[in-house]
Amino acid sequence: MRERHPCVYIMASGRHGTIYIGVTSDLMARVHQHREGLTGGFTRRYGVKRLVFHETHASMDAAITREKQLKAWKREWKIALIEKENPFWEDWAVRLGFRPLP
């Protein structure tokens, strides 16, 4: 059984593309849902499938608080956060064992 930690994650359609911020206690399962288009709605419509950022938190309450904070940020602040940790917008899902996207 894999470990699960509350985390905030950012998915993107590509470098400087459409951004989605979410929270989950099972990042692997959530990334799978996004990549397979199982989430429907916004992320499927805009092809938001690349994991470009994530951070873990001690509790789900802390993760939700951080998610709300990030969602309230200006777009350029979100981009700066991504690029601080992931300057080339690499798909971190590959690090988790997912196949690279075309």
Q: Which residue segments constitute the domains of the chain, with CATH numbers given?
A: 7-96 (3.40.1440.10)
**How far does CA 19 lie from the centroid of its chain?**
8
- Report whether 43 contacts 34 (CB < 8 A): yes
* Residues 23-70 pLDDT 10s: 999 999 999 999 998 887 898 899 999 999 999 999 999 999 999 999
How many other C-beta atoms lie within 10 A of the C-beta of residue 86? 19
Q: Does the pTM exceed 0.85?
A: yes
Between strands 7-12 and 19-24, the pairing is antiparallel
Amino acid letter at 61?
A: D
* Residues 4-22 pLDDT 10s: 789 999 999 999 999 999 9
- Kindly report the backbone phi and psi dihedral angles of residue 13, in degrees, each rounded to the nearest multiple of 5, phi listed first: -80, -20
